[in-house]
Amino acid sequence: MSVENKIVLVDYKMGNYHSVTHSLHRIGVESIISSDPEVILSADRIILVGVGHFQKAMENLHSLNLIDCLNQFVLIQKKPILGICLGMQLMAQYGEEGDCSGLGWVDGTIKKFKVSDNLKFKIPHTGWNQIEYQKESPIMNKIPSSTEFYFVHSYFFQSDNQDIVLNTTNYSTSFISAIQIENIYGVQYHPEKSHDQGLQFLSNFINL
């Protein structure tokens, strides 16, 4: 494990940061939780975690003056970023929840699940489900296709750009469960709640 990497979790008041820092600690990686743009820009990698309302999250990012530094980190410096759950959704152009623009880094829209069978498929989608590879990536190293990860979400990432799709998952219908374009990585599932395979995933991100 590289000890040189400085890992910062972006604090925008919407995430379960400590479960992620605990998982990173388990793989020997220390991290910082910060909303300071200078600290964020000094990182080698950042993680955008999040649980909650899309519009509220974007309002928080704006009010904390984090949009410009995130754009600088991701689009100009092109250093690795990992979005988890809501953190991935914020990377899209638009979210239905609050009728709100996102960060706009990745082609896509965040849409609410509409299931065909309300008895069989409960919303939010909660629990373990398989991911299927749609392309190869070093962030999936040592994680076989069909591995199960833990999900909790009512909205999903929809995009017509198949080049960004890293994983898909089936729940009533097939949906995008992970994205990757250049230095931008996002997962709908929660690696910090997904036992050994989640720790492997986080380790892969740290070692990109």
Could you tell me if 132 and 175 are in contact, meaning their C-beta atoms sit under 8 angstroms apart?
Answer: no
Which one is catalytic: 69, 97, 153, 192?
192
Residue 2 in domain: no
Q: Residue 1: what pLDDT?
A: 38
55: DSSP letter: H
Q: Within a domain: residue 19?
A: yes
Tell me if 100 is assigned to some domain: yes
Which run of H or of E encompasses 126? strand 125-130
The answer to whether position 200 is within a domain reads yes
Q: For residue 1, tell me if it sits in a domain.
A: no
Where residue 105 sits, what CATH number does that domain have? 3.40.50.880
HEC string of 9-74 equals EECCCCCCHHHHHHHHHHCCCCEEEECCHHHHHCCCEEEECCCCCHHHHHHHHHHCCCHHHHHHHH
pLDDT computed for residue 4 by the predictor: 66
89-105 per-position pLDDT tens digit: 999 999 999 999 999 99
190 is catalytic: yes
The residue segments making up the domain with residue 199 are 7-206
Catalytic site includes residue 192 = yes
4, 148, 190, 195: the catalytic one is 190
Give a yes or no: residue 144 inside a domain: yes
At residue 2, the pLDDT reads 42
Q: Is residue 194 part of a domain?
A: yes
**What confidence score (pLDDT) does residue 21 get?**
97
The span from the CA of 160 to the CA of 129, in Å, is 23
**Which residues in the chain come in under a pLDDT of 50?**
1-3
Position 48 in a domain: yes
Catalytic residue among 69, 85, 97, 125: 85
User: Are 167 and 118 spatial neighbours (Cβ–Cβ below 8 Å)?
Assistant: no
- Total domain count, the chain: 1
pLDDT digits (tens, 9 = 90+) for 127-164: 999 999 999 999 999 999 999 999 999 999 999 999 99
Does the active-site annotation cover 69? no
